[in-house]
């Protein structure tokens, strides 16, 4: 029978391989590189939010950095959004001096969550960047309504991947039932997370608005 550490190692390896695979798929359909200023400012804000943690009920932490992960994925596409999510998570874990295997897992599951959510969004017909961010976007347009509706799918997919991966890791490390851990850590925050994910839309609207207004979208992050 496998030891607890062996089971955790298998989970981390599985999540890492999945993250690499979906990132490779996202690379083939990637949007153009957004530029160093947009990439760096989104990364900076995501890293700052990554440092603002809340303690969940069972051996896990949460943060509002997901807002920037979702915003970056919508605006820059799955590959660059996943890169911002992964790098900001890496910086946060290094600052907290987490063990290497925990760093690898956290980075991988964030990359997997963003890239997979964006891939699902696109496979269902959503456009990246969404049509409602374009100048003159009309809410009466069926295309705009489609992309707004698919945002919910995008957000749910992100949180589902994140919560399942984290709950599985916590269940293995604490030797508790997955269902119990997932229920305790997810039930109280899933509504908040989905509601707060709407802020990602506001971030992207402000970014694109400032980009059209003064030619420097990063100012909108303020």
Mean local confidence (pLDDT), 136-159: 85
Among the residue ranges 10-24, 33-47, 104-118, 129-143, the one predicted with the least confidence is: 129-143
pLDDT of residue 215: 87
- pLDDT exceeds cutoff 70 at 166: yes
- pLDDT exceeds cutoff 70 at 85: yes
Mean local confidence (pLDDT), 82-96: 95
The answer to whether the predicted template modeling score (pTM) of the entire model surpasses 0.85 is yes
pLDDT of residue 213: 87
3 state SS for the chain: CCCHHHHHHHHHHHHHHHHHHHHHHHHHCCCCCCCHHHHHHHHHHHHHHHCCEEECCCCCEEECCHHHHHHHHHHHCHHHHHHHHHHHHHHHHHHCCCCHHHHHHHHHHHHHHHHHHHHHHHHCCCCCCCHHHCCCCCCCCHHHHHHHHHHHHHHHHHHHHHHHHHHHHHHHHHCCCHHHHHHHHHCCCHHHHHHHCHHHHHHHHHHHHHHHHHCCHHHHHC
pLDDT in tens, 35-75: 999 999 999 999 999 877 654 444 445 578 899 999 999 99
**What's the whole-number average pLDDT of the chain?**
88
pLDDT of residue 135: 63
Mean local confidence (pLDDT), 98-124: 96
- pLDDT exceeds cutoff 90 at 83: yes
- pLDDT exceeds cutoff 90 at 137: no
pLDDT of residue 102: 94
pLDDT of residue 56: 45
Mean local confidence (pLDDT), 150-167: 93
Among the residue ranges 97-101, 105-109, 191-195, the one predicted with the least confidence is: 191-195
């Amino acid at each position: 029978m496998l030891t607890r550490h062996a089971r955790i190692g298998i989970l981390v390896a599985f999540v890492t391989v999945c993250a690499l695979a979906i990132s490779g798929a996202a690379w083939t359909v990637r949007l153009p590189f957004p530029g160093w200023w947009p990439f760096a400012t989104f990364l900076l804000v995501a890293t700052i939010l990554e440092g603002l943690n809340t303690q969940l009920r069972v051996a896990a932490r949460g943060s509002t950095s997901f807002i920037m992960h979702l915003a970056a994925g919508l605006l820059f596409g799955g590959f660059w959004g996943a890169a911002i999510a992964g790098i900001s998570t890496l910086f946060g874990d290094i600052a907290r001096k987490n063990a290497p295997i925990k760093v690898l897992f956290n980075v991988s599951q964030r990359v997997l969550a963003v890239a997979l959510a964006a891939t699902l969004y696109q496979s269902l017909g959503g456009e990246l960047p969404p049509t409602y961010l374009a100048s003159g976007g009309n809410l009466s347009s069926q295309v705009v309504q489609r992309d707004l509706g698919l945002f919910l799918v995008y957000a749910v997919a992100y949180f589902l991947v994140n919560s399942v991966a984290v709950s599985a890791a916590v269940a293995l490390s604490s030797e508790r039932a997955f269902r119990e851990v997932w229920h305790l850590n997810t039930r109280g925050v899933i509504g908040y997370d989905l509601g707060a994910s709407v802020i990602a839309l506001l971030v992207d609207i402000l970014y694109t608005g400032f980009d059209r207004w003064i030619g420097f979208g990063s100012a909108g992050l303020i």
